[in-house]
Amino acid sequence: MGLISEVLLLPFAPVRGSGWAIGQVLREAERIYYDPATIRAGLARLEEQLEAGEITGEEFDRQEDALLDRLEIATRTSAGLGNGTAP
């Protein structure tokens, strides 16, 4: 039965392969997005922008909150306490 199903599903192989590749790209993107080092670098850049006057204090607070939320999710996930919203 396995050989017959493989032969019948052969025309769909490119679609299955594309789905696998898209899944791999999404996993890597999430890994980078929730990487604590990446988030810390973003916080440092954000502080530099504030000190240079490129952003307002309000914008700094908004972006800092978003980055800290990501860092919290990354920390919970790496500790095995994640709620399934991160990698």
**Torsion, Cα of 72, 77, 78, 81 (10° steps):** 100
Q: What is the pTM of this model?
A: 0.67
Question: Which residue, 38, 48, 49, is CA-closest to 71?
Answer: 38
Cα 5 to chain centroid, rounded: 35
Each residue's pLDDT expressed in tens, for the chain with a length of 87 residues? 577 877 777 787 787 788 889 999 999 999 999 999 999 999 999 999 999 999 999 999 999 999 999 999 999 988 775 554 545
